[in-house]
Structure formats: C-alpha cells, structure tokens
Structure 1
Amino acid sequence: MNVDFIEALKELEKEKGIALDVLIEAIEAALISAYKKNFGSSQNVRVEINRDTGEIHVYNRRTIVDEVEDPRLEISIEEARKLRPSYEVTDILETEVTPRTFGRIAAQTAKQVVVQRIREAERTIIYDEFINREGDIVTGIVQRHEMKNVFIDLGKTEAVIMPTEQIAREQYNQGDRIKTYIVEVKKTTKGPQILVSRTHPGLLKRLFELEVPEIHDGIVEIKSVAREAGARSKIAVYSKHENVDPVGACVGPKGMRVQAIVNELRGEKIDIVKWSADPVVFVENSLSPAKVLSVHVNLSEKIAKVVVPDYQLSLAIGKEGQNARLAAKLTGWKIDIKSESQAEENNE
C-alpha cells in the first residue's frame, strides 16, 4: 500500500461518506486477522497504517511481568529493561514484526474490507432514504417473479410486492411500469427490504394527492377511503373553501383526473362522494350512485336505517353487497338498507 491508496480512500470518503479513519481502522483490524492466518501466529499483534504514506507496520505486543508464563504474550522485566531501563511491570513492549511478503496480502485484504464497507454504506444510505418514505408512492419497473412475490426495480434498489398486497387478477408483466405504496422498510443482513402494496387504501389516497392540486395545496381534504382493490373504491372529500367543489376538483375537467387514477389501477371503479359532518347527509352521499329517500340514524349505536326507491335497491346494495359494504367502511356506520315498499310493510 502507498500514497495512492490513501488518496483513493480519501476520494471514497468524499463520494460515499465513509470516514477515512473508519476505513483505516477496519483495514487494520482485518490485517491483524490476515497476519495471524497467514503466518500462523498466536501473538498479540497491532497493525498500524500511516495516514500519510500508506505504509503498514505490524507490532508484536507483550506485557512486561515479573515471571513469564507465556513467552508469546509476556516478557520479563529484566529482558525489557535491557531494551529500555524506564520500563515497569504491566507496561506493553512492542516489537516490529512486519513480514517482507506482507504487502500483497495486505493489499488483497484491504480491497475486501473497502468493498464490504462501501456495500454497507450504500445499504445504509438506501435504508435512510426509504425509511422516511413509508406511506409514500414509488414508481418502479416490474423486474421478476419469485415464489409468487413480484420484485420491482426502483433504480437504486428493489422492492417486493407480497402475494397479499397484489390485486387479484392483475397481471405484473416484466417491464411494466407501475406505482406502488411503501408499506414498510426493514433492515436485514442483506440490506434494506422495501415492502410495497397495490391494494393498500393509502395508494388511492396518494394517487389523488398527486393528481389533484387542490388536495396537494390543502384546499380539498380526503376525509376517508374505503377500498376493495381491483374492483371498487369510495373516497370522501371535503372542501375548506365554499367556492371549491371537492368532488368536481377530484373528477377534473372532463373526468381527466379521476380517469388517470382509474387507468393506473387498471380499471378499478372509484366513487367520489362529498363528506359531511352530518351523519344523515354523509350516509346518503356514501351510497352514491344510488338515490336515497330517507336516512334515520341511531347515534349511540352508530346504525343508519336507509330507505331507497324500489328500483334503486339493487344499486344501493351493489353486486354481492359491495356498494353497501364500502359505504359502511367509508362512514364508519352500520347501514341497514330497505326498499320503499319493504319500509312500508314494516311501518318504518
């Protein structure tokens, strides 16, 4: 090792943010193991790298004692004082034992340590970047499939969509560009593991924040989201400004904003409803597109009894109860839907 090696380490310090002292200390520690392995030594040794010249020196360290039990680790006070009269018992005597052939071994060892440290530093940088992005959207390219998991290339690293976070019947073809929601970032021995989702309600919310400037600016607020990924979703929105229509803002000119989100979610239907602090109004809005005749609420039990025209009953309930189920999720209320004729029969 030489001056050029030290300069190379200093460049790494600038580029990768790994302190020079940290690198050199790691190399010194690795060289101690390399020395003992290659020269069959069980001595207590210290390796020193000169920070200016890059020169390496290996020193045998022995403790000064009255009576020597292990000559590899100890030296008598009499022997030590022949070298320097000022030595005392318990002092450490160092003798240089740098082998002539140690340079090649040292260079190889140093290279391995530096590569490992660079890899660790890069993993830390990636982890620090993505741990702060939990709950955010990332765009990536479908890379491969392994054991039903889908791996997404994010550029610097990759993310994984577990089977439970994949939309049923959605195809993830290699090379497809998709948006996913970061659910969790884990630290593992192989580096950061980024878990992303296509089914999380947060994905829908973040897509609206990206597409609708009024939401990004805080004029329109998303109050709640109910989602059955791949099939249908409902989103309740509220405007802080009387002259801004929250539903219209989310739909966009000629439906362009909501259509962009529908396209990203491969055709998932989205109902945008107006949020209200009045539970009667909110429950009525949540059952859109069905028309509602009346809503009676039990505030203590959070139950809403809804009456709809006979011809609107199937629309209000939805296919396999989907519309009613999503409305209940969106409002947080248990919703009991009856047709007008059913309500009359029950005298409700």
Structure 2
Amino acid sequence: MKNALDRDALIFLKTLCDTQNLVNAANQLGLSPATASRLLGKLREAFDDELFTRSSGGLAPTWRMAELLPQVRTVLDDYERLLEVSAFDPKTLERVFHIGCVDHGVVFLAPAVARVASAAAGVMIEMSEITNEWPVQLRTGELDAVISPMESVPPGFHYLKLRERSCSARLVCRPGHPLLARAAQKGGVTFEEALSCGFVEITWRPTNYFRLAKSREEEAFAARRVIVKTPYFMGAAKIVSESDLLLPLSNLLADWCIEQGFLADLPVIGHPPFFNDFEPKLIWHDRSHLDPAMQWLRGMILSAVRDEEKKEAEERTGG
C-alpha cells in the first residue's frame, strides 16, 4: 500500500482525473500504457475501489474517487510548498491563476493586470464564469479565488472587501434616448415613465444569489417589461447602447460605459436605488490561505483596486 501511495502515484491519480483517459495520462507523465495500467490496479487495491469506470467520454471517476480528489490535491499542494524556497520571488513564478467571476469582474481584475504582467512574466490569469458550485471548486483547487458580492461566506473560506465603499446601481440608457429630453427639462423622469420602456435583465451568476436578489425586488419593478435576458453585463450594455431599452447597472460599470460615450445616466425622481448596495469581495478557501503565490496575487488585486478607488474619490472632490 505504501508503494501505491507515494507522490508519483498521487500525481498519476490526479492526472487521470484531469484527462479521464489512461493513455493520455500515461503520455503526460512519460509512462508506458502497461505501467499506467499496473499503477491503476495498485491504486484500486489500495483504496478498495474501482476509482474509475468506463463511459462514453472515457474513464469516469467513481463517487469514492470524487471524494478522494480534494484530498489528493491538498497532499500534492502541501508537498510542493514543502519544497518551495522560503523567499517568494514573483519573477520566477510560472503559474495559471483561475478566478471565478461574472464578466463584470474584469472591473476589479483590470487594474491589477498590468502590475501582475510586469512583476511576473510567467503568470497567466484565467477568468471563468462563476456557478453555484464555487465553494466546491475553491475547495478542490479548480478555482483559486472568486470575485462576487456574496453576502455570506461559509466556514473555511476567507474574503477581502475589494472596495471600502459599498457599490450601488442606477438606471442607464443610450445617448439620445427619448426620455433623456424629459429628464433634462424636469431633472429626471418618474418611475412610471421609466417603466413604460422595455428593459434588459442581467441574469448573473451564481444563480442562487441572483434569485435571492430577485426576491427582494419591489412589486412594480418586478413587473417591468423585460425584452432581453442575458447573463453578460457587457452584452447587456451593448444591447442598451443600440436600442431604447433601459438597464439598471452597477455604478462601477456604468461609469466606465458613460465615459466611453455609449451609455447615459437616466435619473429617476424620488425613487430609491433599483438594487440594494453590495460589497464586492475576493473570496478564497483555507487550502490557499497560506500559499505565497496566492498571498501575492491577492495583494496585487486589492492594492490596484484600492488605488483606483482613491483616484475616483480625488476626481469627485477635485483633490
């Protein structure tokens, strides 16, 4: 059993999970198919489980293997950290960081990208769509971090608020929208005038958090006429820029779109924000809490975002 559970065996097990193909896993690790087959047999004996079963897509992990995978990843990560030189140097770092977020998340990653690229030429940041499974993906290492305004974070997870001030949303439309002339005359439009138009709705991820926000909409706004639904913030902004549809959009993205000239503010008189204020967070799991590379990346993202926030505050106050 001890021979079956050495580091090379665990690397083989992880690679087989990733490829779900015995020959491909063997090729990646420089093993012959026969050697890989014998190693899989030893692992099956060690864990008293088939570990993988044949399916139309290749070798599918059994329930036992799915349970083992997070532990295998953790053991291998701990082993790598054990061998790391204590002094962390981003210039020598070669790594892909996987960040889960909606496309709106680029607002928080963009300020840090130039700094990361300059400090660590071997680093790549890969963004992927956040799903309801984000806690599992952080636990298993499929994701390194998540950017989301999640209201609560489960035990075993950590987070940093990406902005000191909460974020809010406002109503936007295309420049030249018919309601803008009325708004210019009266200082804004009424809630009823806004509801006379069609809307774009962003069905953002994760869906369980989106449904929670939907349940809090006031009745009149929930009954608005939705013409287009899309999970993409940037796609929604593009649709609004070329139509007479309206869109409640976070201040962060609205400011950028208005600066670019393809959206405009539509002030609504005597109406509270269309969505509750939210706090964007950078979230990660215990497994990467002490990882020097992740500590460095988190610091790069937070400092870049906070610098942007400080610049915005100075522009508002003329300082």
TM over 0.5: no
Question: 1 or 2, which has the higher helix percentage?
Answer: 2
User: TM-score scaled by structure 1?
Assistant: 0.21
| Structure with the higher strand share, 1 or 2 | 1
Q: Structure 2 length normalisation: TM-score? A: 0.23
